[in-house]
Amino acid sequence: MASYIVRRLVAMVLMLIALSMIVFLLFNALPADPARLTCGKACTPQVIEANRIRLGLDKPLYEQYGAFVKGIFYGRTYGSGKVTFECHKPCLGYSFRRGEQVTDLVTKALPVTAQLAIGAFVLWIVFGVSVGIVAALKRGKWQDRSIMAFALFGYSFPSFFIGLLLVFFVQIKWGLVGYEGYVSFFDSPSLWFQGLILPWIALALLYAAFYARLTRNQMLETLGDDFIRTARAKGLKERTVIGRHALRAGLTPIVTAAGLDLAGLLGGAVITEAVFNLPGIGRLSIDSVTDSDLPVITATVLIAATFVIVANLVVDVLYAVIDPRVRLT
Amino acid sequence: MTQPFLDVRDLRVQFPTEDGLVNAVDGVDFSVEKGKTLAIVGESGSGKSVTSQAIMGLINRKTAKMTGEVYLEGEELVGARPEQVRSLRGKRMAMIFQDPLSSLHPFYSIGKQLAEAVLVHQNVSKSEAYGQARDMLARVGIPNPERRVKDYPHNLSGGMRQRVMIAMALLNSPELLIADEPTTALDVTVQAQILDLLRSLQDEFGTAIVLITHDLGVVADMADDVVVMYGGRVVERGSVQDIYYRPEMPYTWGLLGSVPRMDVDRGERLEPIPGQPPSLIRLPKGCVFRPRCPYHELVPGNRCDTDRPALEPVTPEHSVRCHLEPAQRREIADERLFARGGNVAGGGADPDNPNSTRWSETTSPAASNPAPTTTQEDPK
């Protein structure tokens, strides 16, 4: 197992290197000129050229890439001569659009996204999986039908629509939560909660619907399995048959889905963050895309990819722990 | 007369589906005494597995309709409370399933799965339960039980897994053991070992065994009595000698004719039964076997199409469901099955029993044993 994890980690690093190269290449192939973005309205051809040289954008791509990688591990110095500034490690670049270092932007946005994603994750797993189990056990009955109808509803409506409904009713009409938006937990736990509860619900509803269906299908499949019949034939109580035999086998595949979904969200819940105006990674990526803010785009893509790759590894290892048939070699 | 140990009367199981009512088991009667083995034979879809699960109370009563009576030592089970039947399951009656890999939980160790069966019925400590599990594994011939209890089903070979299944079934010394195709998934050498094991355990505990199989070699080797099922009904019922030497039902002839025989030239082809098993939704009005029966024209007045034949006794122990006249049946059976000399499947033949060669003086018992590993010993 240890050697497996080491090999996977090496593969992960190689994958990230390849990915960063591709992202770097792709965005440099775009028609947007990074040097043009450094000066805004004050741009004259002379200024653009001067900035190009100062930022090293005149150098060949591989040298630029080398400087980018070096910045992550050692930090880098932008500019030359008298006008220079330091970008300390881990330096993900400098956004001239915002006049801020990308690392700072990311470290501010990441906790917001993490709180949104993890809160919603807990909600949808608890809610989605438990109603999925109920639906499976009450197959064909009214409980099953209403849960599945509700799931279809949650599944088919886009999350921005549900988000807007929530904002309209809960926030505007009924005034149950305030308008402050995102507030740090350490500033005011109550406002923090009010700012996040609607995004949590909007995001969790979509995933809960999906997980309710997934859990129901998994459980129904497992309940038809031969070893469930064996458990009954042993004379086990129905509670034990379901609780110990069916759930253990039926819910294992959900671990995989849950890990990957959480990782995907940690890379930015784009729509939910936009609807609720949360300053997370998702918002950061959209804004940087609309602004053609290349250093920020590169960083957000790399962060999202890192989450997905790490989650894949975690899920695989976790699976081997849960399922004795899986051998990691 | 006292009631048999297991007594099944007019058992019916129906599954409502979108296409109509599936009559999986359509009025089945049989009985088994302690220490005896009853084989239920028939092709896929004949209702034999559903019958066994109905006895065990493993039919989901929400999705299936079940009527009739099942008595286990006088105690009726079909109308009993589910909790009542559950407390008998695994204790007084146990079941061995066909595919041991899928029938064992993939995520729990062998020891845990066995100990669980002990703990649910006996008020003992965990370590005592594990001790019983180890002892039983040793009893069914698993080497190193102390180490094997930590293994998972996928670590074991098919034969070992089936032994684990048997051990699990025997843990609480059940009086009735239902074995649903216990050897189908195994190769023949292992098959013989498993059957030997079942026999010796039966000798020791006096267990009543219901053996569900489509392997007539296994039946000849193991059974005292045989029930032949077709289309959810019993079409012939009798002692193993009756079924092998004096079969009276065209379907039984077909089954026996499709078994490879060692006493027949290699060039001879096996005779398959033509046609398909019936759909259990729209059963024919008359005899269920009529569409595949080559002899229905011998019955006057199209009775095979219109009348459902009753299960009528030929001798007190031997009953058959067929409209053909007894004399006709004997004539056809003689010609079809015994013309070339030799009985049909040998292991169950009793050379000391003169009746076993009633219609064929030239039989050589055991000469035609289909499974090379079945031994030539007499059935119990």
Q: Give yes or no for residue A117 having a pLDDT over 70.
A: yes
Pairing of strands B318-320, B208-213: unpaired
Least Cα separation, residue B100 to chain A (angstroms): 9
Determine the Cα–Cα distance for residues B156 and B148; give it in Å rounded to an integer.
9
Q: Give yes or no for residue A36 having a pLDDT over 80.
A: no
Query: Percent of chain A, pLDDT > 70?
Result: 99
Interchain CB contact of A240 with B (< 8 Å): yes
Stronger pLDDT, A119 or B338, i.e. the higher one: A119
Q: Nearest residue of A to residue B84 by CA position?
A: A235
pLDDT tens digits along B120-153: 999 999 999 999 999 999 988 899 999 999 999 9
Tokens linked to B113: 């799965």
Host domain of residue B139: 103-172
pLDDT tens digits along A218-273: 999 999 999 999 999 999 999 999 999 999 999 988 998 999 999 999 988 899 99
pLDDT tens digits along B7-18: 999 999 999 988
Task: Choose among A235, A249, A324: nearest Cβ to B121.
Answer: A235
Task: Choose among A233, A237, A240: nearest Cβ to B58.
Answer: A233
What does the pLDDT read at residue B353? 47
B154-169 burial, b for 16+ CB within 10 Å, e for fewer? eebeebbbbbbbbbbb
Q: Indicate the residue among B172, B190, B213 that finishes a domain.
A: B172
Q: Give yes or no for residue B359 having a pLDDT over 50.
A: no
What CATH number is attached to the domain comprising B220?
3.40.50.300
What does the pLDDT read at residue A88? 82
Tokens linked to A91: 């330096």
Same domain flag for B193 and B128 = no
Determine the Cα–Cα distance for residues B275 and B273; give it in Å rounded to an integer.
7
Q: Indicate the residue among B149, B172, B195 that finishes a domain.
A: B172
Rounded average pLDDT over A35-46: 78
Interchain CB contact of B112 with A (< 8 Å): no
Measured from the Cβ of residue B249, the count of other Cβ atoms closer than 10 Å reads 27
**Phi, then psi, of A185 in degrees rounded to 5:** -55, -35
Contacts of B271 (CB under 8 A, 6+ apart): B254, B257, B258
Q: Give yes or no for residue B380 having a pLDDT over 50.
A: no
What does the pLDDT read at residue B354? 44
Same domain flag for B349 and B368 = yes
Q: Give yes or no for residue B364 having a pLDDT over 50.
A: no
Structural domain contains residue B200: yes
pLDDT tens digits along A95-113: 878 888 999 999 999 999 9
Determine the Cα–Cα distance for residues B56 and B74; give it in Å rounded to an integer.
15
What does the pLDDT read at residue B266? 60
State the pLDDT confidence band at B263, using cuts at 50, 70 and 90. Answer: low
Q: Using the Cα atoms of residue A60, residue A66, residue A67 and residue A69 in order, give the sign of their dihedral.
A: positive
pLDDT tens digits along A65-93: 888 888 888 888 887 666 777 888 888 88
State the pLDDT confidence band at B96, using cuts at 50, 70 and 90. Answer: very high
State the pLDDT confidence band at B349, using cuts at 50, 70 and 90. Answer: very low
SS3 (DSSP) at A107: helix
Same domain flag for B145 and B252 = no
Please give the domain boundaries of chain A with CATH numbers for all domains: 34-91 (no CATH), 102-322 (1.10.3720.10)
Determine the Cα–Cα distance for residues A76 and B140; give it in Å rounded to an integer.
72
Q: Report the Cα–Cα distance between both ends of chain B, in Å, rounded.
A: 23
Rounded average pLDDT over B110-121: 95
Q: Give yes or no for residue B119 having a pLDDT over 50.
A: yes
Structural domain contains residue B77: yes
Structural domain contains residue B255: yes
State the pLDDT confidence band at B291, using cuts at 50, 70 and 90. Answer: confident
Same domain flag for B113 and B75 = no
What does the pLDDT read at residue A62? 87
Query: Percent of chain B, pLDDT > 70?
Result: 86
CB B223, CB B211: distance < 8 Å: yes
What does the pLDDT read at residue B79? 92
State the pLDDT confidence band at B342, using cuts at 50, 70 and 90. Answer: very low
Burial class (CB in 10 A: 0-12, 13-18, 19+), B369: buried
Query: Percent of chain B, pLDDT > 90?
Result: 48
**What total number of domains does chain B contain?**
2
What does the pLDDT read at residue B379? 43
What does the pLDDT read at residue B212? 93
What does the pLDDT read at residue A234? 94
Query: Do A235 and B97 lie within an 8 Å CB cutoff?
Result: no
Interchain CB contact of A227 with B (< 8 Å): yes
pLDDT tens digits along A261-293: 999 999 888 999 999 999 999 999 999 988 888
Q: Give yes or no for residue A28 having a pLDDT over 80.
A: no
What does the pLDDT read at residue B118? 95
Same domain flag for B188 and B232 = yes
Q: Indicate the residue among B172, B193, B225 that finishes a domain.
A: B172
CB B170, CB B177: distance < 8 Å: yes
Residues of B in contact with A325 (CB under 8 A): 106, 152, 154
Q: Nearest residue of A to residue B168 by CA position?
A: A234
Least Cα separation, residue A269 to chain B (angstroms): 35
Task: Choose among A227, A234, A245: nearest Cβ to B90.
Answer: A234
Structural domain contains residue B299: no
